[in-house]
Amino acid sequence: MIALGCALIGALWGGWLARKRKGNAYDMAQYAAGFGIFFGLVGLFGGMIVTALFG
């Protein structure tokens, strides 16, 4: 659940950032995908660390 939440937050942030930089729809989609993947991976590894430490 941590990874999915982080991926969603990353996608929303990426789309917002592309819109703020005056990007078109393709730019917003690419930023959302890139940030979503990155934040999802960070959340995945973060969840694994939390599970290893406290699980």
Q: Within 10 A of 26 (CB to CB), how many other CB atoms are there?
A: 9
- At position 5, the amino acid (one-letter code) is G
Quote the number of domains for the chain.
1
Q: How far apart are CA 8 and CA 24, in angstroms?
A: 20
Note the pLDDT tens digit of each residue in 27-55: 999 999 999 999 999 999 999 999 999 98
The pTM for the full model equals 0.90
What token pair was written down for 53? 């430490």
Q: Which domain holds residue 6?
A: 2-54
Note the pLDDT tens digit of each residue in 10-30: 999 999 999 999 999 999 999
